[in-house]
Structure 1
Amino acid sequence: MDIAPDKQNIDRVFSNTTYHIDFYQRDYKWTDEPVRRLIDDIFYAFEETYKEHVVLDPGPEIIVAKYPWYYLNTYVTNTIDGRVYVVDGQQRLTTLTLILIKLHHMAVSFQSDLADWIKGKIAGQDGFKKRFWMNHERHLEALKALFEDKDQIPTDSGLTAVNMLDNYNIIADALDERLTDKHKLETFVFYFLHRLVLINLSVEQTDVPMVFEVINDRGVRLRPYEILKGKLLGQIEKIELDAQDFNGLWERCVRSVNRFKPDEIDTFFTYFLKAKFADTRKLAQRFDNEYHREMFKKDMNDALGLDHDAVRVKKFLSEDFRYYTSLYAKIWNYAGVRKPAQEHVYFNRLNEMDSQFLLILSACTVDDPEEEEKIRLVSYHLDRLFTLLRLQRAYDSNEFNDAVYEISKLLRGENASAIPVAFDQQLLKLLSLRRGLPVSDPFEYSQFKNTSVTDVPTRFTRYFFARVDDFMAREMKVGPKHTIDELVTKTGSKGGFHIEHIVSNNAANLALYDNNAERFEVDRNRLGGVLLLKGKDNISSNNEAYAQKLKSYAGTLYWNETLRDDTYKSKLDFKTMMTGHKLKFEACRSFGPAEVEKRQKLLFDMISIVWAPAS
């Protein structure tokens, strides 16, 4: 590796070199804290000496003789086809340019003869063209407006322009406060240009990714995907990189994912690598942190071939990265808004089943013609797997997560028809593991009979009843009383939804259980003995007699209303649903052990329909 260090003051840094922003560099992201710290550091060194020599006239000889030099860190460049690219240091160099712009405006205001000198440090002649030395090509309008001291600064070109404007205002206020007269301004200009020093490291193109990563490991760490970008794009020749717009491709894909969450692209890469290369949860852990390093280890390079292979890198970017980021964004979209064709992606989001990202990425191949069907089947069966395990008290988070990787391995590269088989296999395996004997039926009443609110989390209980009510609304061809999202997520005493016991905790009801307090408490907690109700009023009626509670169920969820006589009068769609699915609904004028059992059995029959096997 060939690195050429060169000590330079600001006067030399910005003299005859146009700095292009390399693809390794992020947007200009410095905000007020690092900008203020840089200003404080520069002025701390200047102010102490200025106090001693305030009577001296400003000039290069005085500054060099009396003022110590101050080190401003390193910046890294590489030169390709005559162009100098900033590999590291864009944040600092851009901020120094903004300081120069403010100094130029102040010099003009003070009628200083240094104005033209400063102006030449901001922009100059580069061949036939006049350019800003810090050549932010996509944000030149903002830079030009700042340079020309216009009232309106355009920032629609992006984050860099926004931060340049914000930071220029911070710099302007700070310099106005500190440089209050012409003498001090001119002294500071000589100090700034002659005594502030940076070290330029010029590196060869082949060494840029490694140098870039090492430098950023020492300072403010970049995100893994930002380092990965440098490692990948750094292998492509500049001419081809520009001609085929690989940088644009990368940025578009990253933006399509990051719009859902800041830096979500790192999560994408983690899921993608686990989906394609991890057969077990233990093996998947290697991608949880520094996945960008793992991708270049020997075993991964044998599979991906991204180390020192520009051909494979270009193929990866134009095929895998393009397709799977698009697929990932599609999953996010389906998870955010319920769409009938892919509603189970939305349901899984309500249950915080993020493993659907992993499994869908596993199932799909590049430009998969079965993509929509695979998304539908994976999301449906993941919801079914989770729900049937929960409802049969067979869910264990560690076992479930292990099963996800087993399913992922089974789905990889297979047709959509393999998806139900893989999920059913794991469902029976997990049920057998929990019961300690072979299981052939994925849903048995004997295992659901005693499932209660004490066996499943409250959020899942709300989800369960929300799905039951949603099923009833669909079958009766009526609108839902509330959205599933509201029923699952809306809490609080006023507008939230709560689980309420139908069997009140009072002496009369305890007598129905022969005053056996333990049996009474177990039975009233069963899912057949509770309802999902809205608001504080229903909580306050928790210990009322059943006849009084029954009145309050009118106008609530459809499942709740089936306890009332009036639900069965002249409602043809409800009766059609009952007969079509052979569901034994009946009104309950009293409620005790027999009614809890009937409702538990009725829920079992509805679960068997809502979460039936799907091909």
Structure 2
Amino acid sequence: MDVQPDKQNIDKLFSNTTYYIDFYQRQYKWTDEPVKRLLDDVFYKFNEEYKKHKDSSIELDQIISKYSWYYLNTYVTNHVEGKIYIVDGQQRLTTLTLILIKLKHLAKDLNSQLEGWISNKIVGLSGYKTDFWMNHELHKNSMKGLFDGDELDKIDTSSGLTAQNMVANFSVVSSRLHNELKDLHRFESFVFYFMHRLVLINLNVEQTDVPMVFEVINDRGVKLKPYEILKGKLLGQITKEELDNLNLNDLWESQVTKINAFKEDEIDQFFIYYLKAKFADTIGEGRRYDKDYHRVIFSENKLKLDHNPKEVKDFLQNNFEYYTNLYSKVLKYYKDDSLNNGYAHVYYNGLTEMDMQFLLILSSCILNDPQEDDKIKKIAFEVDRLFSLLQLQRSYGSNAFAVAIYKLSAAIREKDIHEIRPEFDKTLLELLSDARGVPANSPLSYGFFKETGIELDKRFKRYFFARIEKFIADNTKLQVKHSLYDLVQNTGHVNGFHIEHILADNEENLKLFDEDEEKFKSERNRLGGLLLLKGKDNISSNNETYKNKLKSYANTLYWNETLREDSYKSKLDFTDMINKYSLNFRHLDTFGQAELEERHRLLYDMVKYIWE
């Protein structure tokens, strides 16, 4: 690699070179913290030197030669077709430009003769046109607004994050310099110091070396994300002419922006799921992609992207575009709680944090899959069914489940939709058998369900009763009274939902179980003895008798209200549901062992229909 170091001060750096922002470079992402740190460093050194020399009688530009120089770090460039591109350092150089813009405004305010010099360090002639030396081509309106001294809140930042951060950071720079440089002598001393004594090292590298350099050098204070490094290593293999003609940089940015709109840096999670979906058959193989997946892509070279521009172009225009669109689509339904879009189970899995649906959907879909929509719906349902039936039969173990998911991913990888349910059923029976220590012949068994309750995670219990509520509402042509999100996720003291024991822990109820305290505590925690109640209702009914509890269940949730006699009067839709599914709904004036068992079996019967 041919690296050409060149020591420069600010005066030389911004004199006759237009710097273009390479496609490797992310947007201007510095926040106020690294900007303040840079200003602190510069002023700390300047203030020390100014104290020593401020009273000197010789010419100011000669005094500055006595100031110690200060090293500002390195920036990396490469020359392509007559243009100089910033490979690394645009965060720092952009911030230096913001400082220069503020110095220009101060020079005018203080009637300094240095205004023209400073201005020439910001903009200059590049061929026939006047341009900013730091050439943020997409954000020139914002830079011009700053240069012209427009009010910050009126500057156009619609071009994106770079413009927004430039304006925000200019406010930080402006405030600091205004406070530090109040008189002409101090101001002009700082300008000479800033121009002549701040030193950077320019490293110019050949085009073929850029991806490697970009990977190992990070901008000051902001560590590169894996996808940012991956972008450089992929696009760095393609000529700039092809990048422009094929719009590959725009393709990359649009897909990344689409996914990151859901969550910052979510694109990294996409790549992790994608690589696992296509190449990991076991959980051990999957762990390889959890951290530096961008390195593994090239070390394994399963995608054939190492020193292979043809495959890189094909990957970006096909697999990358299709699977990021697919991932974005699933994310949309994952966040959507309307539940009427046909993709309800994608959302349900979000409520239980069953994010492995992303892995399995990416695994099953082929490029431009004609079964895409059906596979999304099918796999989301099967993931929810697998997780829920394991939980409800006391057979869920997080480690065993994770191991099984990777095997399942390999089994359904790019398979037809009709092969998906048999693989899920196979996995379910294997996990049930292993957990219970006896062969499981059916996806759902009352023997496995009978004691379920106390060991369940609180969130899953809320989720279970939320699904029961949804089942009743859907089959009686009613709207759920509260969103599933509130039922599952909202646990606040006042408005949150909490598990309610129908049988309060008191002597009266203990007698119903023949004073057998162990049996009583075990039975009252079964699902048949539980409800969901809102915070205040839950507190108020905490230790009441069953007769009084029935009163507090009025106007709460449908499942709670089915204990009450008035829930069955003139409710034709409710009667139709009972008949359609042969469900043993009836009001209960008393509640003991038999009634608890009856309610538990009723839940079991609904489980069969909810999760087939």
TM-score range for the pair, normalised by the shorter chain length: over 0.9
What is the CA–CA distance in structure 1 between the aligned matches of 2:116 and 2:515, rounded to whole Å? 97
Regions of 4+ moved over 6 Å: none
What is the CA–CA distance in structure 2 between the aligned matches of 1:193 and 1:543, rounded to whole Å? 77
Match for residue 352 of structure 1? 353
Structure 1 range deviating more: 333-342 or 454-463? 333-342
Q: How does 1:35-54 map to 2 (within 5 A)?
A: 35-54=35-54
Match for residue 544 of structure 1? 544
The answer (yes or no) to whether the contact 1:469–1:480 under 8 Å persists in 2 is: yes
Amino acid at match of 2:591: F
268, 271, 283: which is aligned to 2:270?
268
Q: Is 1:569 equivalent to 2:569 in the alignment? A: yes
Could you say if the C-alpha distance between residues 105 and 494 of structure 1 is closer, same or farther in structure 2, counting changes exceeding 3 Å?
closer
Q: What is the CA deviation profile of residues 4-28 of structure 1, one whole-angstrom value per residue up to 9, with x for unaligned ones?
A: 1111121111111100011111211
Q: How does 1:57-456 map to 2 (within 5 A)?
A: 57-64=58-65, 66-151=66-151, 152-216=154-218, 220-297=222-299, 300-301=300-301, 303-338=302-337, 339-340=339-340, 341-452=342-453, 454-456=454-456
Match for residue 476 of structure 2? 476
Structure 1 range deviating more: 504-513 or 153-162? 504-513
What is the CA–CA distance in structure 2 between the aligned matches of 1:577 and 1:178, rounded to whole Å? 77
Aligned residues: 607
What is the CA–CA distance in structure 1 between the aligned matches of 2:478 and 2:185, rounded to whole Å? 81
What is the CA–CA distance in structure 2 between the aligned matches of 1:565 and 1:219, rounded to whole Å? 67
What is the CA–CA distance in structure 2 between the aligned matches of 1:192 and 1:598, rounded to whole Å? 83
What is the CA–CA distance in structure 1 between the aligned matches of 2:101 and 2:563, rounded to whole Å? 76
Give the CA deviation at 1:219. 6.3
Give the CA deviation at 1:217. 8.8
Structure 1 range deviating more: 322-331 or 30-39? 30-39
User: Structure 2: where are the runs of 5+ without partners?
Assistant: none
Give the CA deviation at 1:464. 0.7
What is the CA–CA distance in structure 1 between the aligned matches of 2:219 and 2:435, rounded to whole Å? 46
The answer (yes or no) to whether the contact 1:3–1:202 under 8 Å persists in 2 is: yes
The answer (yes or no) to whether the contact 2:91–2:219 under 8 Å persists in 1 is: no
What is the CA–CA distance in structure 2 between the aligned matches of 1:580 and 1:172, rounded to whole Å? 72
User: Structure 1: where are the runs of 5+ without partners?
Assistant: none
Could you say if the C-alpha distance between residues 540 and 308 of structure 1 is closer, same or farther in structure 2, counting changes exceeding 3 Å?
same
What is the CA–CA distance in structure 1 between the aligned matches of 2:433 and 2:572, rounded to whole Å? 42
What is the CA–CA distance in structure 2 between the aligned matches of 1:572 and 1:187, rounded to whole Å? 88
Could you say if the C-alpha distance between residues 106 and 545 of structure 1 is closer, same or farther in structure 2, counting changes exceeding 3 Å?
closer
Give the CA deviation at 1:435. 2.2
Per the normalisation by structure 1, the TM-score is: 0.95
Could you say if the C-alpha distance between residues 545 and 87 of structure 1 is closer, same or farther in structure 2, counting changes exceeding 3 Å?
same
The answer (yes or no) to whether the contact 1:497–1:532 under 8 Å persists in 2 is: yes
SS in 2 for 1:155: coil
Per the normalisation by structure 2, the TM-score is: 0.96
What is the CA–CA distance in structure 2 between the aligned matches of 1:244 and 1:173, rounded to whole Å? 44
Could you say if the C-alpha distance between residues 104 and 542 of structure 1 is closer, same or farther in structure 2, counting changes exceeding 3 Å?
closer
Q: How does 1:487-502 map to 2 (within 5 A)?
A: 487-502=487-502
Could you say if the C-alpha distance between residues 604 and 97 of structure 1 is closer, same or farther in structure 2, counting changes exceeding 3 Å?
same
The answer (yes or no) to whether the contact 2:89–2:219 under 8 Å persists in 1 is: no
The answer (yes or no) to whether the contact 2:346–2:381 under 8 Å persists in 1 is: yes
Q: RMSD over aligned Cα, in angstroms?
A: 1.7
Match for residue 530 of structure 2? 530
Amino acid at match of 1:422: E
What is the CA–CA distance in structure 1 between the aligned matches of 2:57 and 2:35, rounded to whole Å? 30
Q: What is the CA deviation profile of residues 148-184 of structure 1, one whole-angstrom value per residue up to 9, with x for unaligned ones?
A: 2223322222222222222222222222322233233
Could you say if the C-alpha distance between residues 112 and 511 of structure 1 is closer, same or farther in structure 2, counting changes exceeding 3 Å?
closer
Could you say if the C-alpha distance between residues 526 and 43 of structure 1 is closer, same or farther in structure 2, counting changes exceeding 3 Å?
closer
Could you say if the C-alpha distance between residues 504 and 59 of structure 1 is closer, same or farther in structure 2, counting changes exceeding 3 Å?
closer
Give the CA deviation at 1:432. 1.0
The answer (yes or no) to whether the contact 1:279–1:409 under 8 Å persists in 2 is: yes
SS in 2 for 1:130: strand
Could you say if the C-alpha distance between residues 436 and 217 of structure 1 is closer, same or farther in structure 2, counting changes exceeding 3 Å?
farther
SS in 1 for 2:343: helix
The answer (yes or no) to whether the contact 1:500–1:539 under 8 Å persists in 2 is: no
